[in-house]
Amino acid sequence: MENRKVRLRFAPSPTGPLHIGGVRSALYNYLFAKKHGGDFILRIEDTDQNRYVEGAEAYIVKSLAWCGIHPDEGPGIGGEYTPYRQSERKELGVYQKYADQLVASGNAYYAFDTAEELDAMRKKLEIAKASIQQYSHATRGEMKNSLSLPEEEWKQKIANGEPFVVRLKVPAGEEIRFTDVIRGEVVFNSDVVDDKVLLKSDGMPTYHLAHIVDDVLMDITHAVRGEEWLPSAPSHILIYRYLGWEDKMPQYAHLPLLLKPDGNGKLSKRDGDRLGFSVFPLEWKDPSSGEISSGYRETGYFPEAVVNMLALLGWNMEGEKEIFSMEELIANFSFEHVHKAGAKFNPEKAKWFNEQYLKEKPDAELAELLKPILLKTFNDKEFKDEFVVEVCRMMKDRVTFVSEIATKGSFFFVSPNYTAENLAKISKTITEEAINAILDVIGRDITDAANLEASLKEVATAQNLKIGEFMKFLRISIVGELSGPGVPDLILLLGANEAKSRVGECWKLMN
RNA sequence: GGUCCGUUCGUCUAGGGGUUAGGACGCAAGAUUUUCAUUCUUGUAACACGGGUUCGAUUCCCGUACGGACUACCA
């Protein structure tokens, strides 16, 4: 165990788009694996055919790739432990023999109960207010299984082709303890552990059996998963024990959950819709309903920002720095600094992270990202590369997303729309004479913003206008409103002709 | 109902038997700026409660409350 190569896996079910909490789980697995020079494996746990969703696996793969989380092994990638889809492994008979082994050793049994019968049992226990309302040592004697039925009878049932499942036989009155990497020692009494189904009637293993068999067969050293799995951990410990695999058992680490920003409960898709943020890395279109859920990528987030934000949601690094590259995260990651309590998701902080990354991006890179957006927003109007780069330089401190450069900075690309409300903000002291003086200054061949500003201020002084009022007029005529980069910079970038035309247009509308 | 996990500013968190309980987001104010934003400065605001243990507890222990997860032939 000590000298084994570190191997971690992320094992999602293809039942829909990968949730941002799932991305975080994958990230923590990846960071730990890479920190220790180990492998990160993607395994698809598609043992539930009823919940299988077309396109979900491809979505998962794309999402991880977008985040910069690259599996060393997985479907479509290959590896020594192929295949990496549990449905395919089942076809190979990977799980059946371990179920058989457990039955043979007396640690599992066949059960024939129908869904209705199981339901009836639970109802009965609920009405009786039984403290344990499960299929367990306390109830299995009254159910239809190979422990309660005479041997000839249950063998006959199997011979007749009656459907059955294999259940784990959990002993009564035992203490089951294990050490969680994040939580320390956790103890359960086996009396409250149910006889979990290991093999379903369709021959598919359940998660409980499948993940254990695969973790051992794939030499997984650390099983890092969400806290929702903690209650079933004792079942898993038992399975390892009964299979004689205690020495091969990976170290378990149960991650805190991601919670709703407001109120209580697990973060869900509905919260995103309700509060206006994404809970998925990429946009997802539900194949059956056609409903579209927004993604971080489409919203305009940089993958580095999402990764950075996610990493710090429930984990922290010593020191006061908060911006970390993937390499830095890998170099510093450890489970010791994973917080035990669930973390409420904070959309505001997510934006802040993106702003930090946006500011650090080179202008030219932003321009490349902006160009396709401009094409779409302004009907294929063409703009020079240097111009777009300059726009990015001026706007990057004022936006959260690149796309906002096109919206908040639309005045760079098309003439502003002068609203009556904004025109009303202009002082009535502006005279035609002043306008002519402005047009004259703009028309001069000035290429330096400071010089231009000085010249404009000279006009203001000569015209007996307050600098503030004067600049306000210029700003509204160029930008259309009272915000944005410095007026002289804008005039120089837009060019004398465009600037003069806007000043003229604005003046015309004022009168 | 039962089991398990958890609880430091509104949020993410640091810390840990003796601290002015630190940082970040947010919010507020100020400085800078023609404006907006950035940036800088400052402020705002927290150890759930009750018992122990101790000279001393937010920190350790036990309860309570509250929150969460699980309680499927789903993962």
In a domain, A432, yes or no: yes
A316 touches strand B (CB under 7 A): yes
CB of residue A313 closer than 7 A to nucleic acid strand B?
A: yes
Q: How far is the CA of A14 from the C1' of B5 (A)?
A: 27
Task: State the complex-level ipTM.
Answer: 0.95
Q: Which residue is nearest to nucleotide B73 (CA to C1')?
A: A200
Q: Does A204 lie in the same domain as A224?
A: no
CA distances from A372 to A140, A405, A406, A411, A498 (A): 64, 12, 10, 17, 24
What is the SS3 assignment for A370? helix
**Distance B26 C1' – A355 CA (angstroms):** 15
Instruction: Tell me: pLDDT of A347 over 90.
Output: yes
Residue A262 lies in a domain: no
Does the pLDDT value for residue A385 go beyond 60?
Answer: yes
**Pair (A437, A349) in one structural domain:** no
Rounded CA–C1' distance between A398 and B74, in angstroms: 46
DSSP β-bridge partners for residue A205: A199
- The answer to whether strand B lies under 7 Å from the CB of residue A142 is no
- Give domain status of residue A476, yes or no: yes
CA A14 to C1' B70 (Å) is 22
Q: Are residues A282 and A373 in the same domain?
A: no
| pLDDT(A1) > 60 | no
- A427 vs A176, higher pLDDT: A176
- DSSP code of residue A173: S
Residue A156 lies in a domain: yes
CATH number at residue A472: 1.10.10.350
A:106-135 Cβ neighbours of strand B under 7 Å:
113-115, 118, 122, 129, 131-135
Is the Cβ atom of A87 within 7 Å of strand B at any atom? no
pLDDT at residue A450, rounded to an integer? 92
One domain, residues A354 and A366: no
Q: Is A411 a member of any domain?
A: no
> In this structure, is residue A82 part of a structural domain?
no
Query: Which nucleotide's C1' atom has the smallest distance to the CA of A449?
Result: B34
Bases of strand B lying below 7 A from some protein CB: 1-8, 10-15, 22-26, 33-39, 67-75
Q: State whether A505 and A462 are in the same domain.
A: yes
Nearest in space to A57 (alpha carbons), one of A29, A84, A21: A84
pLDDT interval class at A321 (50, 70, 90): very high
Q: Is the CB of A256 under 7 A from strand B?
A: yes
Which nucleotide lies nearest residue A130, CA to C1'?
A: B1
Question: Which pLDDT value is given to residue A320?
Answer: 87
**A319 shares its domain with A231:** no
Q: Is the pTM of this model over 0.90?
A: yes
- Full residue range of the structural domain in which residue A426 is found: 420-510
**CATH code for the domain of A170:** 3.90.800.10
CB-CB contact of A169 with A107 (8 Å): yes
CATH assignment of the domain containing A302 = 1.10.1160.10
Catalytic residues of A: 269
Q: Does residue A334 belong to any structural domain of this protein? A: yes
Place of tokens 């706007």: A395
- Cβ of residue A204 lies below 7 Å from strand B: yes
pLDDT value for A428: 86
- Measured CA to CA, the distance from residue A494 to residue A412 in angstroms comes to 7
pLDDT at A447: 87
Residue A34 pLDDT greater than 70, yes or no: yes
pLDDT at A263: 67
In a domain, A147, yes or no: yes
Residues A340 and A326 in one domain: yes
The predicted-structure confidence for A63-86, as pLDDT tens digits, reads as follows 999 999 999 999 999 999 999 999
Average pLDDT of chain A to the nearest whole number? 95
In this structure, are A106 and A202 located in the same domain?
yes
Region A226-230: mean pLDDT is: 96
Tell me, yes or no, whether A224 and A196 share the same domain: no
**Helix pair A487-494, A449-462: axis angle to 10 deg:** 110
Q: Give nearest nucleotide to A309 (CA–C1').
A: B12
Number of domains in chain A: 5
Backbone angles phi, psi at A399, to 5 degrees: -135, 160
**Cβ atoms of residues A64 and A58 within 8 Å:** no
A393 and A291 in one domain? no
Please state the rounded mean pLDDT for residues A301-321: 95
Banded model confidence at residue A2, pLDDT cuts 50, 70, 90: low
Whether CB of A330 is under 7 Å from strand B: the answer is no
Instruction: Tell me the nt nearest to A197, Cα to C1'.
Output: B73
Q: Is the CB of A51 under 7 A from strand B?
A: yes
